[in-house]
């Protein structure tokens, strides 16, 4: 994987073929829900080979993970959040810097239905073996109103495969220390699709013949650099009123959109950054929040 101008691109035909394969794997269109069916039963029919998968957004703690020992004022948490904030300020403060550093946008935050923030993923950092590395975060979380970075998402992969993530603290340090390892994986269809879309679009997985739709995503961990009422490691984004950041400077790339006035989205970015097929074009369900069986996904 590379963040150079020589990145592989996936053709429209290849990506659509991959999407068709995903739909087939997920039995889209082959099952219909009767009014009396339970959602869990529908999920089992929807993903026969993924016993933990659900149609609606859901996530699961990674093996051995725990938030029981996590505290925002713990010295390790303070140090990690400070290091992340410093890296974002110096290297990845806004959309301009993210594009220059090779980050790829992912909007349509399907697992929450909240379009006020977006994930930006860096193929050069995903799978490089450096986990919990503030200088090389696999994903940067961006506030779509101000176009400013407000946190990171670490992703536990190496050489394209999911790996067991390390604890933030509390493991092999002190037998009496409580474990803080707030890693989670997405098992719901929207989050799994988001990871599949990234791999097909930016890693060329479809071109390599890897059309497999995952049963779950790799383990992921958020670190927010703005105040969050739940936790530095919370899964959901902080309420907008807690994001005390000024709008980014006017971007250097060609756009009619203005940070602080126009929400960040595909339409605000230059054409060479926007994939040929967007998540809404390829999703094996209706991005508006209604799945193919007519069940409200709560998106």
The two tokens of residue 218 are: 């790799």
Report the domain count for the chain: 1
What is d(CA 225, CA 81) in angstroms, rounded to the nearest whole number? 6
The stretch 149-171 carries a mean pLDDT of 91
Which pLDDT value is given to residue 108? 60
In a domain, residue 65? The reply is yes
How high does pLDDT run on average in the chain?
Answer: 79
In a domain, residue 14? The reply is no
- The region of weakest confidence among 90-99, 102-111, 172-181 is 172-181
3-class state of residue 156 by DSSP: coil
Q: Quick: pLDDT tens for 228-250.
A: 999 999 988 899 889 999 999 99
Which pLDDT value is given to residue 22? 43
In sequence order, the β-bridge partners of residue 149 are 142
The two tokens of residue 123 are: 């193929």
In a domain, residue 40? The reply is no
Q: Quick: pLDDT tens for 139-151.
A: 999 999 999 999 9
In sequence order, the 6+-apart residues with CB closer than 8 A to the CB of 98 are 92, 120, 140, 142, 149
Which pLDDT value is given to residue 206? 60
In a domain, residue 291? The reply is no
Q: Measuring CA to CA, which residue among 35, 115, 139 is closest to residue 299?
A: 115
Which residue range(s) make up the domain with 98?
A: 57-275
Biggest CA–CA distance in the chain, Å, is: 57
In a domain, residue 186? The reply is yes
State the pLDDT confidence band at 129, using cuts at 50, 70 and 90. confident
Which pLDDT value is given to residue 172? 58
Q: Quick: pLDDT tens for 26-73.
A: 433 233 334 334 445 544 545 567 888 887 788 898 988 999 999 999
Q: Measuring CA to CA, which residue among 81, 53, 283, 271 is closest to residue 182?
A: 81
In a domain, residue 45? The reply is no
Helices (H), the chain: 12-25, 39-46, 75-90, 95-100, 189-202, 279-282
Q: Measuring CA to CA, which residue among 267, 271, 239 is closest to residue 107?
A: 267
In a domain, residue 123? The reply is yes
Beta-strand relationship, 161-162 and 184-186: unpaired
The edge-to-edge listing of strands for the beta sheet with 139-143 is 59-61, 184-186, 220-224, 148-155, 139-143, 117-121, 104-106
Residue 207 reports pLDDT greater than 60 = yes
In a domain, residue 280? The reply is no
Residue whose pair of structure tokens reads 């707030």 in the numeric block: 182
Helix axes 12-25, 189-202, angle to 10 degrees: 150
């Amino acid at each position: 994987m590379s963040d150079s101008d020589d990145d592989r691109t996936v053709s429209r035909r290849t990506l659509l073929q991959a999407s068709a394969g995903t739909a087939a794997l997920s039995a889209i269109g082959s099952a219909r829900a009767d009014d009396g069916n339970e959602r869990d039963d529908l999920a089992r029919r929807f993903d026969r080979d993924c016993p933990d998968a659900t149609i609606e957004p859901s996530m699961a703690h990674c093996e051995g993970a725990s938030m029981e020992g996590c505290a925002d004022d713990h010295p390790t948490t303070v140090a990690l959040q400070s290091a992340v904030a410093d890296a974002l300020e110096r290297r990845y403060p806004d959309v301009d810097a993210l594009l220059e550093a090779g980050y790829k946008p992912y909007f349509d935050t399907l697992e929450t239905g909240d379009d006020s923030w977006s994930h930006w993923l860096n193929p050069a950092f995903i799978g490089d073996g450096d986990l919990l590395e503030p200088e090389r975060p696999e994903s940067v979380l961006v506030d779509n109103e101000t176009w400013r970075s407000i946190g990171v998402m670490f992703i536990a992969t190496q050489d394209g495969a999911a790996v067991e993530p390390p604890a933030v603290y509390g493991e092999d340090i002190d037998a009496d220390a409580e474990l803080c390892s707030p890693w989670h994986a997405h098992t719901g269809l929207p989050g799994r699709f988001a990871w599949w879309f990234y791999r097909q679009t930016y890693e060329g997985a479809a071109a390599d013949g890897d059309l497999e739709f995952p049963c779950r995503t790799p383990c992921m961990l958020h670190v927010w650099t703005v105040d969050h009422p739940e936790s530095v490691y919370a899964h959901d984004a902080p309420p907008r009123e807690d994001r005390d950041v000024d709008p980014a400077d006017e971007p250097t790339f060609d756009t009619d959109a203005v940070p602080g006035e126009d929400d960040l989205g595909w339409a605000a970015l230059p054409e060479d950054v926007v994939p040929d097929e967007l998540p809404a074009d390829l999703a094996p369900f209706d991005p508006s929040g209604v799945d193919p069986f007519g069940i409200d996904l709560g998106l």
